Structure 1
Amino acid sequence: MFSGVFDMAARHDIKRGLSWGSAALAGALLLLPLATPAQAADTITIASWGGNYQDALSKAIWGPVGQKLGITVKEDNTNGLADVRAQVLANAVQWDITELTIDGCAQGAAEGLFEPIDFTVVDKSGFDPAVVNASYMGQNYYSNVVAWSTEKYGKDGPQSWADFWNVEKFPGRRSLRNDPAEVLEAALLADGVAPDKLYPLDLDRAFKSLEKIKPYISVWWSSGAQSAQLLTDGEVDMIGAWSGRVTAAQAQGAKVDFTFNQGLLIADCLVIPKGAKNKDLAMKALAAALSADIQANLPTYIDYGPANAKAFDTGKIAPDVAARLNTGPENAKKQVVFHGDWWGEHGAEARERWSAFMNE
C-alpha cells in the first residue's frame, strides 16, 4: 500500500518540470483487461500525472475500468490544462479522458475545452456539488491540514486555523504554503468565517488576516517535498501542509501529528477533452471510474479519499481504513470542500494580490 506521500505535491512538482524517476511510466502504459482482447475500436487513452501516483490509480481505477467494460485502457502523462488546451485548439485531441486539478477544470470549463458530461450515463449522486460541473467531476481528494511537532506541543497542538494564528497560546515557528490557494481559505477560517460561508472568498478580509500571521511565518514552503522536510527536520513547530505529506513524515519517524478539523478538501477531477475521438466510450469509462465500487479501490493503493461518498457504503473500505482517510465520513464532516470554480474565475486577481503581499 502506498503511504500517501504521492499527494498534490507531486503534481505541483511535475508542473515545475521535476522528474518522478519512474521509467515504467515514461511512456504510455497498456492495461489489458481479463476479458477477450479488445479491438482497436474498444480502446481509450487516459492521461494523468505520472509516476507512482499514476501507477496507484492504474491499479485502483483504470485496470478495473478496463476489466469492467472489456476494453483496453492506454495511459499517457499530462502536465495540466495547457496540454489539453493545445490539443483542443489544434483539433488534434489525443486523450479521451484526462485528470486535472480542480481549478484547472474550472478554468478549462470556462474556456469550453471539455465535452459536457452525460448525467444519464454518469451518476453524480455520491458527490459534493462543489466538485460536479456540467463538464467535469471530482475523482479524489487530498487535504490541507494543520500539523504540529509533538516534541513541542505533545498531543495538544493547534486544533484549528484560529489556533495556528494564536501566537500567544501556541508560540513557535510556523510555515505556510507560498501560494494563495488554500492559504486564503485558512486565513478566513482563522478569522472566524463559518465554513459554510467561506465562498465567495472575501479577499480584503483574507489578506488582513494574513497580515497578522505573516511576521510569525518562518518559512513559506513551495513544494510538498519541502513541507515534509520541514516537519522531518524539526525546522518548524507547526505547518499548514498536505495530509499525505504529514503521514509520510510520520512513517519516516517524524514526531508530528495533525488534525482534520478545518482541513480543506481539494479535489482532482476528470474531464473528456472536446473533440475526443472516443467520446461515447469515454463517457462509459468515466461513469465506471467514478462508480462507488471502483472508487472504493483507492485506499488499497494510496491514501487518497474517494470523491464518491458512496464508496464507503460498499463494504470494501474497512472501518479502520475509513477512520484514517480524509473523506472517511467522520473526517470529511470536519472539513471544507475547496471550490475550484471560484479559483477558476478569480485566481488571477488573488495571485496578483498575493504577489504584492509577499513583496511588501
Structure 2
Amino acid sequence: MKSQRRARGFPDMPGGLVQRHRFGQRRRFGMARPFRRQAMEPGEKEFSPGPPLLSFLSVWCAGGAGIRPGCDNPGDCWRADHRLRHRLGRDRKLTEKRRGSGRVPSPGLSSLPWHGSCLASGLTAPQRRAARGGQVRMTQTFQQDCVELLQQQHQRGRISRRAMLWGLAALGAAPALRRPAAAAQGKQELVLVNWGGIAMKGFDEAYGKPFMAENPGWTVVQDSSGPSAGRIRSMVESGHVTWDLCDSSAASATLLSGMNLLTPVDYGVVRKENVIGPAFAVEYGAAPYSFSNVLAYDSSKFPTPPTGWKDFFDLKRFPGTRLIRRDARTSLDIATVSLGADPKAMYPLDVGKALKRIGDIKGNAVYWNNGSESEQYLRTGEAVMGCIWHTRASVLERETQGRIKFIWDQGMLQAGIMVIPKNNPGGAAAQRLLASMLAHPEPQVALLKLMGNGPTNPRAAEMVPPELRRLNPTDPANVAKQFYLDETWWGKNYQDANAEYLDFITG
C-alpha cells in the first residue's frame, strides 16, 4: 500500500490534507507526477480553503488531481517541484520513453519559476494561466542570464571577484540583506526584487549609495526570489505586498497593469529626460538598462556575412543549422521581418504566417532555453547561425577570436523595465529609488564595461570608451540599425502566441 503523507506548510489548515507522493523521489528522478486524492484518516475533516487563499489552491481538482499544499509560499506551487511538466521536444539527451511521456529534465537553473505545471485549480489551461498572472516562463530570462554570465566570466578568470560582485549589485542580483540592521538604525527600507544571484560587498557602490545619499532616512534591501507576473499578482490580490520595485519587462507591465495590479510611474518624480526614448519610460515602468537580440554567425562558414533575418532563413545561400529561442517572443518577430515586413509597422503579428516561415527551417533548427545553451551551440559548431542575446554574442566574438561574429542590423531592442506593485509598503519612496537608478549614468556605463548591458541614460553615451561603443546596444549608431519589440502587443498576446509556437516546433 502506498504511503500516505500529511501535508505540511499550512499549519492553520484544520485536519490537514493527505497526498501520496515523495518529494525527494520525484526530484531525484527528475520527473513530475500528478497529485492524486487520497482517503482521509479516521477523524480527519475535509478542508475547504477560506477567502484568504487564492483560487488556485482549491483542495479537490478536476480529474482527481490534488494540490501541493506543502509550500510555505503559494508561489512555490509552480516553482522547482513543479517545473517539469509540459516540456516536450528537448533537442538532446532524451530517451524515447521520456519523449513519449512528455516529461523531461529541467534545462535551466534549479530555482527558475517554471509556471504551468501545478494542476492545482482544476481549471482549463487558459484559466490556469490567467490565475497565475498570465506569464509562463518556458525559458531563462535575460536578467537570470546576466547573473549566470557574470559568474562564468569570473570562473574563466576574465574578471575579478570584486568586479563580479559589483556587477551583480548593479543588476540588483543579491539575496535579501538582513532587515534588523535597518530597523536598529531607525531607517525605513525599500525592497528591490530581482531574479537571483549571490551576496556581494559592492551593492552600495551600484544603486544603493546614490539613493541613500539623496534619502538618508531610507535603506535598500533586496529579494532575489524572482518577481514573476504570477507572484506579483498573488501578492497584490492577497493584500500582503512586501515588494517595492521589481525587475520585470514591458510585456509583464502591460499584462499586470491591465489587471490593476501596478502603481503607475510618477513622471513628476521619475524624469523621462533621463532615458533615451519612450520605450524605456512607459506608463507602468521605466528601464535602467537595455539589451538586444542579434544575429550571430560562424564567420568561418560564410565568407560573405549575412545582412539580416532574410539571410537567416535562406538555407541555400547560408546552409547549416539555425539556432532559435524556445520562446515565441523574438522568434515570431524575426520570421516576420524576414518576409520583408517593416519592423515599425508589422504589429499585430500574423502568427500563422510567421509559423509557416519558421517551418522553412524547422528541419535544420535547434532551440535554446538559456544563455549558456545558446553560447554552447555556436561555440561547438552545432549551429552556424543564431538569434541570441547580444551579451552572449559579445562573449563569443571575444573568446573565439572573431570566429563567431554578430551584426546589429535588424536587432531587436528590449528595455529592462522596473515596475512598482500596487500598495507597495515603501509607497512613494519606490518612485524616488527608480528615479535615482535612471538619473546616474556612471553605474550604467560601468555595467556596460563589465558585461555589455546597454545604458539608458542619454548622458551615458559620451562616457562610453570608443572601443566599447561598437558593443553598446544603445549607442546611437547601433540603435539606428535596430527596432523595438512591441511589448504592448506581446503583453496582451504572449500566452496564445507562445502556445501555438511551442506546439508547432515540437509537433
**TM-score under structure 1 normalisation?**
0.84
Distance 1:178 1:216 in 2: 14
Deviation at 1:253, TM superposition (A): 2.9
Match of 1:95 among 228, 235, 243: 243
Q: Is the 8 A contact 1:322 1:329 kept in 2?
A: no
SS for the counterpart of 1:109 is helix
Q: Is the 8 A contact 1:141 1:268 kept in 2?
A: yes
More helix by percentage: 1
SS for the counterpart of 2:469 is helix
Deviation at 1:352, TM superposition (A): 2.4
Match of 1:122 among 234, 248, 270: 270
Residue equivalent to 1:288: 436
Residue equivalent to 2:113: 15
1:285 maps to amino acid: L
Deviations 1:208-258 (A, max 9, x none): 3222222332x1222211111111111111111111112223343362000
Residue equivalent to 1:161: 309
Deviation at 1:56, TM superposition (A): 8.2
Distance 2:110 2:214 in 1: 32
Distance 2:109 2:200 in 1: 11
Residue equivalent to 2:189: 43
- Assess, with a 3 A threshold, how the Cα gap between structure 1 residues 12 and 213 changes in structure 2: closer, same or farther: farther
Distance 1:110 1:101 in 2: 14
Distance 2:356 2:440 in 1: 42
Residue equivalent to 2:206: 60
Q: Is the 8 A contact 2:299 2:405 kept in 1?
A: yes
1:319 equivalenced with 2:466 (yes/no) = yes
1:136 equivalenced with 2:285 (yes/no) = yes
2:195 maps to amino acid: W
Residue equivalent to 1:82: 230
1:298 maps to amino acid: L
Match of 1:208 among 356, 363, 370: 356
Distance 2:252 2:176 in 1: 23
SS for the counterpart of 2:411 is strand
More strand by percentage: 1
Deviation at 1:119, TM superposition (A): 0.9
Distance 1:10 1:51 in 2: 15
- Assess, with a 3 A threshold, how the Cα gap between structure 1 residues 333 and 97 changes in structure 2: closer, same or farther: same
Deviations 1:79-138 (A, max 9, x none): 222222222122111121111133222211112111111111111233432343222122
Q: Is the 8 A contact 2:391 2:451 kept in 1?
A: no
- Assess, with a 3 A threshold, how the Cα gap between structure 1 residues 316 and 40 changes in structure 2: closer, same or farther: farther
- Assess, with a 3 A threshold, how the Cα gap between structure 1 residues 111 and 183 changes in structure 2: closer, same or farther: same
1:256 equivalenced with 2:404 (yes/no) = yes
Larger C-alpha radius of gyration, 1 or 2? 2
Q: Is the 8 A contact 2:108 2:369 kept in 1?
A: no
Distance 1:284 1:188 in 2: 40
Match of 2:426 among 278, 292, 303: 278
Distance 1:299 1:73 in 2: 23
**TM-score under structure 2 normalisation?**
0.61
1:188 equivalenced with 2:188 (yes/no) = no
Residue equivalent to 2:73: none
1:97 maps to amino acid: L
- Assess, with a 3 A threshold, how the Cα gap between structure 1 residues 286 and 55 changes in structure 2: closer, same or farther: farther
Deviation at 1:187, TM superposition (A): 0.4
Residue equivalent to 1:358: 505
Residue equivalent to 1:152: 301
Q: Which runs of 5+ in 1 are unaligned?
A: 1-8, 32-36
Q: Is the 8 A contact 1:69 1:285 kept in 2?
A: no
SS for the counterpart of 2:415 is strand
Deviation at 1:345, TM superposition (A): 0.5
Residue equivalent to 1:34: none
Q: Which runs of 5+ in 2 are unaligned?
A: 1-106, 116-139, 152-164, 166-172
Residue equivalent to 1:173: 321
Deviation at 1:292, TM superposition (A): 5.1
